[in-house]
A and B are shown apart, each in its own frame.
Chain A
Amino acid sequence: EAGVAQSPRYKIIEKRQSVAFWCNPISGHATLYWYQQILGQGPKLLIQFQNNGVVDDSQLPKDRFSAERLKGVDSTLKIQPAKLEDSAVYLCASSLTGETEAFFGQGTRLTVV
C-alpha cells in the first residue's frame, strides 16, 4: 500500500515570499490533515478535511495560510506571505475516516530566512 506522499521535502524561502505544499493521501482515505510541527514540539493540527469539506480549521492562521482539497483527494497548503516563525515541518496525514488512526507523510521542512 502506497503511503502519504508529500512534496517538496525541503523548501527555503525568504520572509514575505509565498510557498505551497502538496499532499497526496492514501487511496480511499476520506480524511486528510495538515499539521505544523515546530522544532521541539508535537504536531499541531492546522486543518482537517473530510472529503473536500473542512471539518476543523480553528488553528489555521487564516490571514496567511490557506488550504484546499478541491476534488476530495490531493490537497495543497499555502502560506502567503511567510514569516520567520513559520519555519517548521509541515506534515500531511490521512485516515480512512475521522475515527480511525492517521497515517503520516514524510513532511516538508520549511525554512524561512
Chain B
Amino acid sequence: EVVLTQSPGTLSLSPGERATLSCRASHNIGSFLAWYQQKPGQVPRLLIYAASSRATGIPDRFSGSGSGTDFTLTISRLEPEDFAVYYCQQYSGSPWTFGQGTKVEI
C-alpha cells in the first residue's frame, strides 16, 4: 500500500500570500497523483490530476508539480475562498490512498 504523507499539517497564511503544500509517497507513483480541496461542510473538489493537470474550471493560481515520490501543490496568491483542507490522492495501484490533509488557515 502506498502511504501519502502531507506536510505541513496546518499552514497559516494571509490572503495574497503563496501557499506551498507537500505530499510525499512511500513508493514511486510516477505522476499518478490528484489533489482535492475540501471546505467545511462541503465535499471534496478535484483540483489537479496527473500531478500537474488542472481540472476543468480550476483557477490558474492552483498548480501542481512533481513525480515519483515528491509532489507539490502551489497556490500562487491566496484568495479568501482558498482557505480549506487539501488532500493528495494516488491512483498508481490498489488500494487508492489519500494523504491525511493540509489545512490552510488564515
A binds B: no
Interface residues of B (CB under 8 A from A): none
Interface residues of A (CB under 8 A from B): none
